[in-house]
Structure 1
């Protein structure tokens, strides 16, 4: 690379460390493409150049190694501050508590400026982070955007994390929180028949479990299951793990580290409460409609595709939003232009159509 461009990129990364990615993406598109480097093509897909630039910047930051869970959580919070963008204004954002599987859990209700006092749609949202990291703050910007642009209420739930609370605690907390939301629909100002469950990555995992267990345990079913590049199988391994397990934000090392922390007992991994992709076919037939997203450069891509195929074969209405140029975690990369921003617009448009206010 040209030394002057390299110096410019390093200077911009220094600004990013101060929570300012904006200057990097304010550069002319031609400059950004030069900084990103030659196109990366794998398995017939070409990586989005704006994502490639972010990965290049990330490679210039000091390396970090996951040690203990507390350090990993602090690192995850710091990284998310860099890519959160400016918080979207809403009618109100309220912290509250909801029922978990064993006691109360922190939660946050996002109310858009559109909507009514009652009868609104609601997404009960569970954050990603490998069941080990992540919290209400790491996904605050995403929840605000969903609420504002889809015109729906969002209830984000701070479920208990591993290793302090190993599997299937996160899933059981999610089940309890979802049923709490249905029980308290009037208090939340929403229609109990229009409550969806969703989340990204590990949050997509527990959301899939909630949908499945609503059938198995016969509690109210979600109006929609929203699975954003979900982790669905902690046992099997598919080609995308080998293709994209290094250099695309979520690495193979990350996946194994999260798995060991969430499921220290390997016997838990093949259960439906931990690996919802492995559930019996009979449990799929009565599931609510699904909105599933996947990314072309995501090591979890193939398990999402497989679940889409299984749901479709079982007769479940499925919308699959596949973004071939993007990586795992792209909905949290708020300041990025181009394909990343377009994917978020597409997501909120689908949520608005499914749960938003009547026209």
Structure 2
């Protein structure tokens, strides 16, 4: 755990999880293993859950999963772009997270199974999220607020989709966002080993989605180099022991200076991937419940 002397970890359960990962040792990423289906704990019960396929331009078919509280009323609705380092993750990997958001916040949720790298590098995932936003806008016809959320790689895809979309996004939630594909910030080194997300893996992941150095350093894929005025009002979640922490903190300042920051929650003692650690760490569950509830409240009140 480089750069720290007796670092504080959120709880003993998270510490045990980190110890178990360290004991496994490091191995090079395998897409087949990363995409292997794993049994995951179920989430809160939502009355209406449906799997749909949206037809987008160019013949692309985008699977989505909708979480609705009833079939009669339309509530504030949040599109969700899952994390997974650009190369894995799907509707099942973040089913629990989407159910938590819907249940805690009293909002409807649309999860997007966007196309993954390396088969579909940037901007395929961004285009898919933009297409789902357009589909949702047609369905709600401006009657309710529209939110957009994502974690890790999904947070970057969500941000770029929001800035490029013609759909007005009322609130954006970025959880442990990966917004510097050059991986140039200090925390990549100080937190890049022993904290559950290895810097060596990060380099490989981003190279699958943005295969050239020019693309990884381009303004088009860098929220830190985009005019902050193009961003929706945004909530950002950063974690103390996350190698992506410093780029998230830089984005906080980038948006705060432009008046585009709704809130910033910095999670002391926490690691990357807090949204999916709620069944491992009681503190991760409490923290996640708080920021999901706060975000949904801001979304529900965004047009008052």
TM-score (norm 1): 0.77
The CA deviation string for residues 304-324 of structure 1, in whole angstroms up to 9 with x for no partner, is 100010101112133001102
* 2:122 equivalent to 1:167: yes
Q: 1:256 to 1:337 in 2, by over 3 A?
A: closer
Matches within 5 A, 1:172-191: 172-185=127-140
Q: Decide whether aligned partners of structure 1 residues 132 and 159 sit closer, same or farther in structure 2, where only a CA change above 3 A counts.
A: same
Note the aligned Cα RMSD (angstroms): 2.5
Q: Which residue of 2 aligns with 1:31?
A: none
- Rate the CA distance shift 1:285–1:336 in 2: closer, same or farther, 3 A: same
Cα distance in 2 for residues equivalent to 1:151 and 1:117? 15
* Contact residue 100 and residue 174 of structure 1 kept, 8 A: no
CA contact (8 A) 1:40 1:46 kept: no
Distance 1:273 1:302, change over 3 A: same
> What is the aligned counterpart of 2:260 among 313, 316, 340?
316
Higher RCO (Cα < 8 Å, 6 or more apart): 2
Structure 1: how far apart are the matches of 2:21 and 2:53?
36
CA contact (8 A) 2:252 2:261 kept: no
In the other structure, the counterpart of 2:16 is 53
Paired residues for 1:281-296 under 5 Å = 283-296=227-240
For 1:244-259, list aligned pairs within 5 A. 244-259=191-206
Aligned to 1:297: 241
Q: Residue 318 of structure 1: SS of its match in structure 2?
A: strand
SS at 2:173's partner residue?
strand
List gaps (5 residues or longer) in structure 1. 1-38
- Once the two structures are superposed, residues 117-174 of structure 1 have per-residue CA deviations (whole angstroms, 9 ceiling, x without a partner) of 3341111000001111111111111111111111111100000001111112111221
Contact 1:127/1:202 (8 A) holds in 2: yes
Q: Distance in 2 between matches of 1:347 and 1:111?
A: 20
Written as runs of structure 1 = structure 2, the 5 A alignment for 1:264-275 is 264-275=211-222
Shift of 1:51: 1.2
Greater Rg over alpha carbons, structure:
1
- SS of structure 2 residue aligned to 1:325: strand
Superposed CA offset, 1:163-209 (max 9, x none): 111112111221122122112226xxxx5550111110011001110
Flag the 1:222–1:230 CA change in 2: closer, same or farther, 3 A.
same
How much does 1:242 deviate?
0.7
- 267-276 or 325-334: bigger deviation: 267-276
In the alignment, what sits opposite 1:107?
64
> What are structure 2's unaligned runs of at least 5 residues?
none
> How many residues end up aligned between the 2 structures?
301
Distance in 2 of aligned mates of 1:101 and 1:304: 32
* SS of residue matched to 2:65: strand
1:96 aligns with 2:43: no
Normalising by structure 2, we get a TM-score of 0.90
CA distance in 2, matches of 1:321, 1:328: 13
The 8 Å contact of residues 212 and 284 in structure 1, kept in 2 or not, is answered as no
Which residue of 29, 48, 56 maps to 1:66?
29
Secondary structure of the equivalent of 1:184? helix
